[in-house]
Amino acid sequence: MTTETQLKPEHHVEELERVTIRFAGDSGDGMQLTGTQFTRTAAVFGNDLATLPDFPAEIRAPAGSLPGVSGFQISFASTEIYTPGDRPDVLVAMNPAALKTNLGDLKPGGLLIVDKDEFEPTNLKKAAYESNPLEDGSLAGYQVVPIAITRQNELALEGLPLSAKDKFRCRNFYALGLILWLYGRTLDTTIKWATEQFKRRPDILEANLRALRAGYNFGETTELFRVQYRVPPAKVPPGTYRHISGNEATALGFVAASVLSGLPLFYGSYPITPASDILHELSKLKNFGVKTFQAEDEIAAIGAAIGAAYGGHLGLTGTSGPGLALKSEALNLAVMTELPIVVIDVQRAGPSTGMPTKTEQADLLQAMFGRNGDSYVAIVAPCTPSDCFIMAIEAFRIALKHMVPVVFLSDGYLGNGSEPWRIPDISELPRIEWKYAEPQEGKFNPYLRDPKTLARPWAVPGQKGLEHRIGGLEKSGETGDISYDPRNHHEMTLARKAKVDRIVDDIPLLQVTGPEEGDLLVLGWGGTYGSITSACENARKRGLSVASAHLRYLNPFPANLPEVLKRYKKVLIPELNTGQLALLIRGRFLVDAVSFNKISGQPFKIAEIEGKIDEVLGLRDEYVLEFTRSAGVSGG
Amino acid sequence: MTAPTAPNDGLISPDLPVLTRKDFVTDQEVRWCPGCGDYSILAQMQKMLPELGIARENIVFISGIGCSSRFPYYVNTYGFHSIHGRAPTIATGLKTARPELTVFVITGDGDGLSIGGNHLLHAMRRNIDLNIVLFNNRIYGLTKGQYSPTSEFGKITKSSPYGTTERPLNPIRIALAAGATFVARSVDRDTKHLEEMLYRAAKHRGVSFVEVYQNCNIFNDGAFAAFAEKEVRAERMIYLEHGKPLRFGKNNEHGIRLNGFTPEIVENAESDEGLLVHDAHAENITLANILVGMDYPEFPVPIGVFRDVDAPTFDQLVQQQVDEAIAKGRGSLEEALRAGETWVVE
Ligand SMILES: Cc1ncc(C[n+]2csc(CCOP(=O)(O)OP(=O)(O)O)c2C)c(N)n1
Ligand code: SF4
Ligand SMILES: [Mg+2]
C-alpha cells in the first residue's frame, strides 16, 4: 500500500436502484456534453436509463443569466425505467443562475453540488439573488456540497499553454470526473470519446483529461462525501446495445425503410427545432443513396418529397408544428394523388412559434384534420426514443402498401431524449411490400384500385405505356380523367377514407399492460409512454386496478380499441395538450373518458399521473398540477 | 443489407424513338377559350417534342394552377397538375430523385411569380435541370380577370376598378437575377420562334426559363398586340441572336447601340459598326439586364435568348455526391445500426 492510498478517506458504499441527476450550468458551460458523457458511461455499464436535455431558447444568452441556463437530466437504474425521473436526487449547479432555475425540482434533502467559486457578487446579481444562498441558510433542506470547481480546475491545468478562457471551459470535465467517481464509474468511456473527439487538438485533449482526472481524484481524496453510490446494471434482454436519441432513431429508421424496401430515400426539409437533427443525420448517409434537399421552405420540402414519391422513390419530409401547417395544402395534394409520402412532425410547444425548444403533443388534430375537404391520412406515433426506429419503418410500410400519405408524430421530448437500445436483428424488422403499376388493358387508369387495400397503382415516369396525368383536381375513378360528376366525387371521397380505414387489418392490436379488465384504463399516445407506464405500475403496486395502453397507430386506431375501452369502468387520457386524443376517443366511441392535460412544455411527471389516477378512482380530492420553477423556465 | 440501387435506372428506354406530333396529343378535350394563346404554345410544344428524340415515358410535365397549368392534361407524356405555385418544388424532387428524366414546368404569371415566386427563384438559383415555361398573359385568367404581378401599373381589372397601384415585375429580370443559366422570351403568335425557344430550352443542360407572352383574349385581349402582331412585329420586336448586332425593322435597317449604360436606337444604321452585339454566353448579366429594360413603345421588345451559359446542375451534383459516397463503400444497415459505442448484454 502506498502512502497516498492510506491518506484516502474511507467511503461507505451504498447501493441504489435508481438515481436521477441533473447537470445545470450556463449554456457556455458544456452541460449537454457532461450529461451525454455520463449517459454513455451509464449505458455502457449496463444501466437502464432515460435522459431529458433542456436547452435554453437563446443560442447565446448573456453568460451567467437566468435565460442562459442549460440543463441535462439523466435517470439511470438497475431496473427497467421509462422516464428521465420526476425530480433529481442530485443537482450539479455550475453557477447561481443554474441553482436558481433548477433548485425547485431537486428532491427535499437531495444532494446539491455547486461550484462555489461562481457564487460571487456579479453572478449572484445576474441570477437576481439578493444574498448568497450558500451563506444565507436558504439551502438548509438539502445536502449542500460547495466545491471550488473553478479554482481546482485552474490548478489542475496549471502550466498548460492554454488561455484562461479555454481552461475555464474544462470545468465541466472536472464536474463530470467528480460525478463519475461518486457513482463508482470508470473514466474509460469518456477518455475514449475525448481522444477521438480532440484528435486534432492534443492540447485541448490533455486539458480536458487532466480536468476529468482531477475531478475524479478530488472525489476520492476529499472527505466531503461520506458515501459513494453503486447502481448495478439492469437486467435487460441479452443482445448488443447502443445508446440512441429519438431523432437519430428516426433517421436510421427511414434509412432502414429504404434498405428494406430497396427504394432510395429522398428527404426534403427546411431547418426547424427540434426536427433539424434528422436532416443533419440523413445528410451524412449518402452512402445509402439518400438524397437530402434543404428546401427554401416547408412547402418546397414536401413538394419535393411528393415529386420523389411520384418518381417511385421514398418521399420523406420532416418538420415541426409550424412547418406542418405550411405543408397542409401539399399534403392534401398527396392525399388526392394518393402518393406514398411520409411527413415527420417533431412536435413542439405551440401555437405559432410557441416555445421551440419545449415539448408538446398538440399537433394530433392538425395531423388528423388540418386540411381542407374530407382528407384522410394515416398517422403513427412512436412512444420512446428508440421506438422512432420501428415506427419510421412502419410509416413507409403503410404508405407504400396502401398508397397513402402517413404522418409520423414524434415530439421534442422523444427526439432529443435518449435511451439504451437493443440493436435489432435485420430479420426482426417489418417487411415492406410495394410494387409499381402493371400495364392494364386499354388506357391506363391510375385509380384502378386494389380490391383488398383500395390502393391505386403506382405508375412511375419511365414506365412505358403507363403515361397518365394526375393532380389535385378530382378524377374519375373509372378513367382517371378530371371529373365533376357528383356520384364520382362522393365515391372517391369515401374510397380515400376507406383506404385509410382498411389499414386497420395491417397494424397490430393495442397491447394492454396490467389487468385485462378493471377500474381504470390509462390511455396515452406518443412521448408520454414512460410516465404513464410507470405511474400505472406504481398504482398497481399500491393495489389499484389500473391498466395502461399506448396508441402508436392513431389513424386508423387498432381494431381492438373500442373493445379494450369497454373493459374498464373508467378511462383516463393524459396528454400534453388540451385533450386532443380525448376528443377523438369520446367522439368516435362515445366513451366518457377523463382528460388530463398539461401544457407547460415539459413532459409529465410520474407523480402527476399517479395523482390524477387517485383522483379519478376517488382516492383523493381534485388533483391540481403544480408548476415548480424548474428547468422548464430556463428559456426565460 | 446494403443501400438500394435506384430501381428505376433500367426503365429508361435505350433506343431513340421516332415520334410525331400526334404521339404527344391526348384524348382530352382542350378546354381553353377559343382563341386563347395557350393553344399555340401547346401546338408548338407538341411539334417540338418529337425532335428531342426522347421517349414519351421519360418526359414529365408538371404544372401549378391556372389556365396555363391545365397544359399537362393535353400532352401525352407523364403529367402532374399540382397546386398553385408549387410545380417547381415537385419538379425539383422528381428531377433530383430521377435525374435521367426530362422535366418541364408549366406555370403562369400569377402561379410562378406571385404565389410561387419563391420556388421559381430557388429552382433557378440551384440550376436544376428543369425546363420552365411561364405563360405571361399579365392577368389571372382562371380566376376570371384580376391583375397579376406582371400587369402594367394603373391597369384596370376586376380587382382594380380604379387602376392598379402596383408596379409590375419583369420575369426575365427575375430569372437573370436568380442566376438562371438559360433565359429566353417568345410570343404565342410567332410560332416558329416559339418552337425554337422551346427546343433550345429543352436542349439546355441546367435550368431553362422561357417567358411566353400569351394572349388571354377574354380578360386581357391584345396585351401584346401592339408589337406582336404579324404586320408590326419586325418594327416593334427585336430578335436577339448570339454574336449578331442588334438590328430590327422591316429590312433590318435600324440598330441599337449603347450610350454609357443606356441603349439607344440608331435609325437606318448603315453599318454594324458601333451597334450593340448580343452575347448570350456572357457570364456577366449586365448586357442582358440592359436588353431586358427595353420595352415598347420606346424600344422594340427583345425576344429570343437573353442568356445561355453552362454550369453544373443541382441534380447532377447531388447524384455525384451520392455516387462518390457509394463508391467508397455502399452503406450497410448492420453497420449503421452498430455505429458508435455498443455493449453486449449476455
Ligand atoms: C392556394 C390557392 N389560392 C388561390 C387559388 C386560385 N387561383 C387559381 S389560378 C389563380 C391565378 C392564376 O393566374 P396565372 O398563374 O397567371 O394563370 P392563368 O390562369 O393566367 O394562366 C388563382 C389565384 C388556388 N387555386 N389556390
Ligand atoms: S381565360 Fe384567358 S388564359 Fe384562360 S383560357 Fe380563356 S383566354 Fe386563355
Ligand atoms: Mg396569367
Q: Is residue A280 over pLDDT 90?
A: yes
State the DSSP code for A355. Answer: B
Q: What angle do CA A327, A331, A336 make, to 5 degrees?
A: 155
Residue B28's pLDDT band (boundaries 50, 70, 90)? Answer: very high
A328/A557 Cα distance (integer angstroms): 22
Q: pLDDT tens digits for A182-193?
A: 999 999 999 999
Amino acid occupying residue A390 = I
Give residue for cell 425505467. Answer: A81
pLDDT of residue A3: 39
Residues 6+ away with beta carbon under 8 Å from B31: B70
Residue B7's pLDDT band (boundaries 50, 70, 90)? Answer: low
What part of A 179-238 touches B (C-beta under 8 Å)? 189, 192-193, 233, 236-238
Q: Is residue A407 over pLDDT 80?
A: yes
Q: In what order do the strands lie in the sheet with B247-248?
A: B247-248, B254-259, B262-266
Q: What angle do CA A457, A459, A465 make, to 5 degrees?
A: 120
CB atoms < 10 A from the CB of A422, how many? 14
Q: pLDDT tens digits for B202-256?
A: 999 999 999 999 999 999 999 999 999 999 999 999 999 999 999 999 999 999 9
Q: By mean pLDDT, which of A2-16, A362-376, A403-417, B113-127 is the weakest?
A: A2-16
Q: What angle do CA A138, A139, A141 make, to 5 degrees?
A: 115
pLDDT of residue B12: 55
Closest CA to B209 of B292, B106, B294: B106
Give φ, ψ of A341 to 5 degrees: -100, 160
Give residue for cell 436542349. Answer: B203
The C-alpha cell that represents A195 in the structure block: 481522444
Q: Give the chain B residue nearest A472 (alpha carbons).
A: B82
Q: How would you class B264 by CB atoms within 10 Å of its CB: exposed for 0-12, middle for 13-18, buried for 19 or more?
A: middle
Give the distance from residue A595's alpha carbon to the nearest chain B alpha carbon, in angstroms. 38
Could B83 and A472 be called an inter-chain contact, meaning their C-beta atoms sit closer than 8 Å? yes
A605/A601 Cα distance (integer angstroms): 12
Give residue for cell 446495445. Answer: A241
Reply yes or no: is the peptide bond before residue A446 cis, omega within 30 of 0. Answer: no
Q: By mean pLDDT, which of A83-87, A560-564, B14-18 is the weakest?
A: B14-18
Residue A491's pLDDT band (boundaries 50, 70, 90)? Answer: very high
What part of B 6-45 touches A (C-beta under 8 Å)? 6-8, 11-13, 26-28
Which residue stretches of A115-201 are H helix? 121-126, 149-156, 164-168, 171-182, 188-197
Q: Is the dihedral of CA A302, A306, A307, A308 positive or negative?
A: positive
Say which of A286, A307, A330 has its CB closest to residue B321: A286
A392/A342 Cα distance (integer angstroms): 9
Mean pLDDT of A414-432: 94
Probe residue for ligand 2, chosen from B31, B42, B67, B147 as the CB with the greatest number of ligand atoms within 8 Å: B67
SS3 at position A90: strand
A31/A53 Cα distance (integer angstroms): 9
Closest CA to A101 of A538, A631, A635: A631
Amino acid occupying residue A244 = I
Q: pLDDT tens digits for B142-155?
A: 999 999 999 999 99
**Is there an atom of ligand 1 within 6 Å of B65 CB?**
yes
Domains defined along chain A, listed by start: 3-230 (3.40.920.10), 242-426 (3.40.50.970), 512-633 (3.40.50.920)
Could B101 and A462 be called an inter-chain contact, meaning their C-beta atoms sit closer than 8 Å? yes
The C-alpha cell that represents A54 in the structure block: 433542456
Q: Is residue B9 over pLDDT 80?
A: no
Long-range contacts of A37-40 (CB under 8 A, 24+ apart): A37/A176, A37/A189, A37/A190, A37/A193, A38/A74, A38/A176, A38/A179, A38/A180, A39/A74, A39/A76, A39/A243, A39/A418, A40/A189, A40/A190, A40/A193, A40/A243, A40/B341
Alpha carbon A222 to chain centroid, angstroms: 38
List, as one string, the DSSP characters of B101-119: SEEEEEEEHHIIIIITHHH
B139/B103 Cα distance (integer angstroms): 26
Q: By mean pLDDT, which of A102-106, A167-171, A206-210, B12-16 is the weakest?
A: B12-16
Q: In what order do the strands lie in the sheet with A594-597?
A: A512-513, A546-551, A518-525, A568-575, A594-597
Alpha carbon B242 to chain centroid, angstroms: 19
Q: pLDDT tens digits for A568-579?
A: 999 999 999 999
Q: pLDDT tens digits for A306-325?
A: 999 999 999 999 999 999 99
Residue A6's pLDDT band (boundaries 50, 70, 90)? Answer: very low
A185/A230 Cα distance (integer angstroms): 9
Per-chain mean pLDDT for chain A: 94
Q: What angle do CA B140, B143, B146 make, to 5 degrees?
A: 45
Say which of B27, B86, B340 has its CB closest to residue A299: B86
Closest CA to B187 of B196, B179, B178: B196
SS3 at position B135: strand
Closest CA to A307 of B214, B110, B335, B315: B315
State the DSSP code for A427. Answer: G
Q: At what angle do helices A149-156 and A171-182 cross, to 10 degrees?
A: 100
Residue A7's pLDDT band (boundaries 50, 70, 90)? Answer: low
Catalogue the E-assigned strands of chain B. Answer: 59-63, 78-81, 102-108, 130-136, 182-187, 208-213, 237-240, 247-248, 254-259, 262-266, 301-308, 342-345
HSE of B72, CA atoms in CB hemisphere, 13 A: 30
Q: What is the CATH number of domain B9-223+312-337?
A: 3.40.50.970
B246/A96 Cα distance (integer angstroms): 75
CB B277 within 8 A of CB B308: no
State the DSSP code for B5. Answer: P
pLDDT of residue B343: 87
Residue A501's pLDDT band (boundaries 50, 70, 90)? Answer: very high
CB atoms < 10 A from the CB of B189, how many? 18
Give the distance from residue B55's alpha carbon to the nearest chain A alpha carbon, in angstroms. 8
pLDDT of residue B206: 98
CB A263 within 8 A of CB A313: yes
pLDDT of residue A344: 98
Per-chain mean pLDDT for chain B: 95
For chain B, the residue count is 346
CB A554 within 8 A of CB A379: yes
CB A52 within 8 A of CB A620: no
Q: pLDDT tens digits for A52-109?
A: 988 877 777 888 999 999 999 999 999 999 999 999 999 999 999 999 999 999 999 9
The C-alpha cell that represents A447 in the structure block: 385509380
State the DSSP code for B343. Answer: E
Q: How far is CA B273 from each of CA A92, A456, A502, B74, B245, rounded to the nearest angstrom?
A: 82, 65, 76, 48, 9
Q: How far is CA A132 from each of CA A110, A171, A633, B228, B287, rounded to the nearest angstrom?
A: 19, 21, 21, 83, 70
Say which of A266, A461, A473 has its CB closest to residue B58: A461
ipTM higher than the 0.85 cut: yes
Q: pLDDT tens digits for A23-56?
A: 999 988 999 999 999 999 999 899 999 999 888 7
Give the distance from residue A491's alpha carbon to the nearest chain B alpha carbon, in angstroms. 22
Q: Inform me whether the C-beta atom of residue A463 falls under 8 Å from chain B C-beta atoms.
A: yes
Amino acid occupying residue A13 = V
Mean pLDDT of B74-92: 98
Helix (H) or strand (E) holding B47: helix B38-52
**What are the sequence ranges of the domains in chain B?**
9-223+312-337
A428/A610 Cα distance (integer angstroms): 35
List, as one string, the DSSP characters of B66-79: SSGGGGGGGBSSEE
Catalogue the E-assigned strands of A493-580. Answer: 512-513, 518-525, 546-551, 553-555, 568-575
Residue A199's pLDDT band (boundaries 50, 70, 90)? Answer: very high
Could B345 and A238 be called an inter-chain contact, meaning their C-beta atoms sit closer than 8 Å? yes
Q: Which residue has the higher pLDDT, B265 or B7?
A: B265
pLDDT of residue A59: 72
What part of A 273-332 touches B (C-beta under 8 Å)? 285-291, 293, 295-297, 299-313, 315, 329-330, 332
What part of B 120-159 touches A (C-beta under 8 Å)? 121-122
Instruction: Give the whole-number percent of chain B exceeding pLDDT 70.
Output: 95
Helix (H) or strand (E) holding A498: helix A486-501
HSE of B171, CA atoms in CB hemisphere, 13 A: 34
Amino acid occupying residue A94 = M
Q: How far is CA A559 from each of CA A235, A391, A515, rounded to the nearest angstrom?
A: 33, 18, 19
